[in-house]
Amino acid sequence: MVKRLTNPLSNRPPPLGNLLAAASRTLAAELDAGIAAAGFADLRAAHAPIFQVIDPAGSRMTELAARTGMTKQAMGELVRHLEKHGYVALTPDEADRRARLVHLTDSGWAVVDAGLGVVGKFDELLDRALGSDNVTQLRNTLLAIIGGTGSSHIGDHRESTDVMITGGS
């Protein structure tokens, strides 16, 4: 067996998966810092998907899990944390009394507003650094990559998300 003296990947550009993961961690850190600065230090970027996909009229936990690509158990843990801290409330589902709906509280809507502000600032930073045309192209490229894998959970629930974001408390 011949041992190599150099890394065979050293002459290649960084793998796209590594770059995408690093970009995701960067955005998550910005979101964590911005949300904490807005007074929500008990939240992390891991909670963001719930706020993005919850229906204004409430959603079942199984729906939230499916929309975010999480397990029901993981969703249950996140929802319990959010309920404990007053960001969501659980109520019986009128259509099926055995099920419960997760609703945003006024505090939950405040988190949505703060999160939109943080994401908006991050988008502005990218626009300044890369130019808005390049950011638009990046967004379209990422959507094409995600859509091409057949495993996207992004945008699966855009209609309700748009209503939620423009809705009030």
pLDDT in tens, 93-145: 988 888 899 999 999 999 999 999 999 999 999 999 999 999 999 999 999 98
The rounded distance, in Å, linking the Cα atoms of 5 and 90 is: 60
The answer to whether residue 22 is domain-embedded is no
Q: Is residue 58 part of a domain?
A: yes
Q: pTM surpassing 0.85? A: no
| The token pair that represents 86 in the structure block | 């007053």
With respect to residue 25, please indicate whether it lies within any of the assigned structural domains: no
Cα 31 off chain centre by:
10
Q: Is 53 a member of any domain?
A: yes
pLDDT class of 161 with cuts at 50, 70, 90 = very low
In the predicted structure, residue 43 carries a pLDDT above the cut 50: yes
Q: Is the dihedral of CA 16, 19, 25, 26 positive or negative?
A: negative
Domains contained in the chain, number: 1
Mean pLDDT of 148-168: 46
- Structural domain contains residue 80: yes
Residue 169 or residue 155, greater confidence: 155
DSSP 154: T
122 within domain boundaries: yes
Domain that holds residue 112: 43-166
Domain CATH number, residue 70: 1.10.10.10
Beta strands in 40-158 (DSSP E): 59-60, 88-93, 96-104
Please indicate, yes or no, if residue 18 is contained in any of the structural domains: no
